[in-house]
Structure 1
Amino acid sequence: MVSQYFDLGTLLLVALVFVSLEGLIPLRSGQKRLRAHWLNDVVFLLVNGVVVKLGLVVALTLVLTALQGAMPAALRAAVAGQPLWLQVIEAFVVADTGFYLAHRAFHASPFLWRFHAIHHSIEEMDWLAGHRVHPVDQILTKTASLAPLFMLGFSEMAIFVWGVAYQWQSVLIHANIRLDFGPLKWVLASPRFHHWHHANEQEAYDKNFAGQLPFLDAIGGTLFMPDRMPSRYGVDEPVPQRYDQQLVYPLRAAAQAAAPAAPSAGEASG
């Protein structure tokens, strides 16, 4: 869900790799390549990157300015002085903890959920599905991931490595690919792990919030990975399926929820 890390050439490579994998080892072999609403998700892929980049710069600037000096200089120097490989490992944990908390908040808050429901409106999972994210959703969750990395003093290279790894993994976990990582499924998020997050089955609601590290869900009591795969995806609420309508849906839904109920015929006549 972070296409802002990729240029057009890399996005074409991502498409080639995952379209090929979905053809070779599909999770659902009967699913059409051009499934319902695929073109809408291409619009998200191509348009969201610019919007999210701008929003992310503004959000990070505000957060980092407000919290300037919150981290001791000695701590920042200690983090920056570590070997790159260690910084990358720590960056995964720090960033995904921020993502986990923000993601969980988007499910817990009715107002935030209306933005996140756009992503959950996907009814057929594939490599394009991860790009259907409302810009507000993506800006806030990415700020929650990136702000702690900058505040703690992680090097630009460590943040870059984490960002590229996150992008590839984000595409993978939404893909129509039969892959669960074996014993590593408890450490690294797989399609099996994240497909359950999208499942429209009551026992899977509000589960598997991590983007990369399932053990965070184990710690938070939200891990759910049974031996079977979900039977259906999506949400029951009537989320529109066109890009422009999806952009305004959260505000329209919030306005409708806040509007006073119309009086019944009996109340009106009385």
Structure 2
Amino acid sequence: MDIFGIKALLICALIFIPFEHLLAERPQKIFRKGWAVDLIYVLFNGFILKAVIVMMVAGALGVAAILVPQSITQAVSGQPIWLQVAEIILITDIGVYWAHRAFHKIPALWKFHAIHHGIEELDWLGAFHSHPIDIIVTKAVSLTPVFFLGFSKASIAIFSVIYFWHTMLVHSNVRLRFGPLKWLIASPQFHRWHHANQREAYDKNFAGQLPFLDVMFGTYNVTGDKVPEKYGVDDPVPSTYFGQAGYPLLPRRKRSNRVASSTET
């Protein structure tokens, strides 16, 4: 069993690397700064996440069997697959939005999320560059309602594939515009501005897949075709995997400029 997802990683590389070369938003090397650390994140985070989701599913299903009437779970799982997938996308992205926003607003949580924002050159591989605690909390918030409500295994599997590929797409270094669909489906341009290390981009574009959530809650950043000047954070994030894993647990010498700015507005 490919518990580290190496086969999936190779398939992703074969697809995204050529596209990032042909449709590059900005000139960037394949083996750009930090790619080796991101590779470690892919392998270890993937393993950790699989284990956590298995435990999460077992726990959620056990509690749901006690608290949620069987009539509800049967009604939910009995819907057409396409409708279930659409509902899962909406439910999970509401969870992602608010969990993501909390990671930006609460200084203690930002220390974990700063690891993801520490990426200075965005590409598909950077989608996996997140602290395990960041991933676990976000997945717990966004997926628990899905398991509670009893969505079918097929619909959850289809959603998982869509989410996996879309996450890599929005982090990829490709110049791809979605036109009028930009309000409905998150594009690389939309998420690129979430990663921009510029004051006007701070605390904007929190949604993972559905930008209209940011429109509804007043956090959408309209940028047109502009490209951010730079990515990353001003926080002193270490460059190594283990340094980054332990970084949130270290005492902070000074308050993050990003969190300080967001709490003042």
The number of equivalent residue pairs is 253
Which of 88, 92, 95 is the equivalent residue of 2:89? 92
Structure 1 unaligned residues grouped into runs of 5+: 258-270
Q: Aligned-pair distance for 1:99? A: 1.1
CA distance, structure 1, for counterparts of residue 16 and residue 4 of structure 2: 15
Separation in 1, partners of 2:101, 2:63? 24
CA distance in 1, matches of 2:75, 2:200: 43
> 1:152 aligns to what?
149
Give the structure 1 partner of residue 257 of structure 2.
Answer: none
Q: CA distance change for structure 1 residues 230 and 70 in 2, over 3 Å: closer, same or farther?
A: farther
Q: Is the 8 A contact 2:77 2:151 kept in 1?
A: yes
Specify every segment of 5 or more residues in structure 2 that has no aligned partner in the other structure, as ranges. 255-265
Supply the AA of the counterpart residue of 1:170.
T
1:193 partnered with 2:205: no
Aligned pair partner of 1:140 in 137, 162, 185: 137
Partner residue in 1 for 2:247: 249
- Please give the alpha-carbon distance, in whole angstroms, between the structure 1 residues aligned to 2:4 and 2:217: 31
Rounded to whole Å, the distance in 1 between the matches of 2:217 and 2:64 is 26
Q: Scaled by the length of structure 2, what TM-score is found? A: 0.89
Give the superposition deviation at 1:204. Answer: 0.9
How big is each residue's C-alpha offset from its partner over 1:203-238, in whole Å with a ceiling of 9 and x where there is no partner? Answer: 111111111111111111111131112111111111
Instruction: Render the CA deviation track for 1:225-255: whole Å, top value 9, x for unaligned.
Output: 311121111111110010011001000146x
Partner of 1:262: none
1:218/1:5 CA distance change after superposition, 3 Å: farther
Please give the alpha-carbon distance, in whole angstroms, between the structure 1 residues aligned to 2:3 and 2:194: 24
Match of 2:259 in 1: none
Counterpart mapping for 1:1-270 below 5 A: 7-28=5-26, 30-62=27-59, 65=62, 69-227=66-224, 228-253=226-251
> Separation in 1 of the partners of 2:177 and 2:137?
29
Larger Rg: 1
Mapped to 1, the partners of 2:238 and 2:126 lie a distance apart of 15
3-state SS of 2:205 partner: coil
**Measured at CA, do residues 110 and 220 of structure 1 come closer, stay the same or move farther in structure 2, by a change above 3 Å?**
same
Q: CA RMSD in A?
A: 2.1
Q: Write the letter of the residue equivalent to 1:94.
A: I
Over the matched positions of the two proteins, sequence identity in percent amounts to 49
Query: TM-score normalised to the size of structure 1?
Result: 0.88
Give me the whole-angstrom Cα distance separating, in 1, the residues matched to 2:3 and 2:119: 23
Contact 1:114/1:253 (8 A) holds in 2: no
Compare 188-197 and 61-70 and name the one that shifted more.
Answer: 61-70
Q: How far does the alpha carbon of each residue in 1:79-108 deviate from its partner, in whole angstroms, 9 at most, with x for none?
A: 111011111111110111111111111111
